[in-house]
Every structure is written in structure tokens, then in C-alpha cells.
Amino acid sequence: MTHLARRITVALAAAAVLPLALTACSDSDKKAADDSSSSAAPAAPVTSAATSEATMDQPFGPGCTAVPKNGAGSFDGMSKDPVATAASNNPALSTLVTAVKKAGLVDTLNNAQGITVFAPTNDAFAKLPKATLDKVLADKAMLTKILTYHVVGQTVKAPDGLAHGTYTTLEKGTLTTSGSGESYKVNNTANVVCGNVETANATVQIIDTVLMPPQ
């Protein structure tokens, strides 16, 4: 075989091998890309239902802005004390605390377990005519009746507990709750302005109107 013939034979052999090499390289690259894509797959998103449930475990409502951010009167601080003590550290509930002390209910509330207190704010008490408020504060029996009407002997929390409920109070009367989302009413008159506040022994639903027991 002449020198020229040998060169042509070698060139033809190299040309035949080249497509096979390129095919193998292409297959290898595709497999690597597929593996990389698989390992980088995004995690499943958190469902909206789980997010909603988590949110309702926290206090909610426009009145929550009046709660101190730190200290014994904050949400964290209140969670460590029994309910009457916790309320005494919250400036927005000072009139209620005065009433509870006058009625001699501090120990009753602090020693109870698993109760819910519908707690009127200072502004709620201010809605009452001064003469009426003074009369109530001076009459221990009447004051006790009104205050115990604000207490339910079980845990009542949003959303399910406040959405549509009828509850027997410590005063032996009944109160009703209704609403949805972050908007709830008690007896169709009082709005829950800061809900699902936890103390060491009770749940507190802070309301904007004093509830009056049925006559």
C-alpha cells in the first residue's frame, strides 16, 4: 500500500469513530443534566390551611396594638401569670381589675383552670353612665353578678369557639358568640378587639362593651 493510500485509510477510520464518541458524550451530558434537575426540585409549598391555623394560634384584632410589647403586660408576660394577675399588668384593663378586686374575685379567677374571660377594656366601662358605673362598683352583689357573667368555664377560642357558640357563664346565665375571620361579636353587642390572649390558666377575649346579664 502506498503512503497516500495509508493516509486515506486512517482518515476514514477516524471519521467513523468520531460520531460514536460524540453520541456517547451527548448521552453522558444529558444524564448529568437530568440528575441535576432532579436534585434541584423545589420543596412542596406550605398549604394555606396550615398557615391560617398557625395564624389563629396568635392574638388578633385591632385592640392588640394597645398591649405592651415587652414586660409583664405583654402577651408573653401575660402567658406566665394567672388571669387576674395578668390583667393587672395590662393598662387597658385597669378598670376591670379594680372591679375584680372590689368584688373579691381575684383568687377565684386566678385559681380556676381552663376558663375564658371576656374582658371589657377601660373604654368599654367608660361607655356606661358615670352614675351607673359608680352604683355598680359600690354594690358588691351586683358587681359580682356582672363580672361572673363575663366568665365561661371552658376554653373558647377563635375561630371555632367564637364562630357560632352559646355558653353558660359562671353567673349561670348564657352568652352567645358569632363571626368569622378576625371579626367576632359577643351577644351581638360587644366586639372582640383583641382575641385569643393566653394567660397561665385562662384564655382572654378582650371586648369593647360591658356585657349585662339577663334580668
Mean per-residue pLDDT of the chain: 82
Lowest mean pLDDT among 54-68, 78-92, 154-168: 54-68
Q: What is the dihedral of CA 87, 174, 114, 141, to 10 degrees?
A: 50
The hierarchical CATH code for the domain 51-207 is: 2.30.180.10
Q: Give residue 56's pLDDT.
A: 66
Strands 174-180 and 183-186: antiparallel
pLDDT tens across 163-188, in order?
A: 999 999 999 999 999 999 999 999 99
Q: Which amino acid is at 189?
A: T
- What's the start-to-end Cα distance of the chain, in Å? 125
Cα–Cα distance, 96 to 102 (Å, whole number): 10
Cα–Cα distance, 99 to 181 (Å, whole number): 31
Residue 44 pLDDT > 50: no
Cα 26–31–32 angle (5° rounding)?
Answer: 100
What residue spans define the domains of the chain?
Answer: 1-35, 51-207
Contacts of 150 (CB under 8 A, 6+ apart): 117, 118, 119, 120, 169, 211
If one compares 47 and 112, the residue with the highest pLDDT of the two is: 112
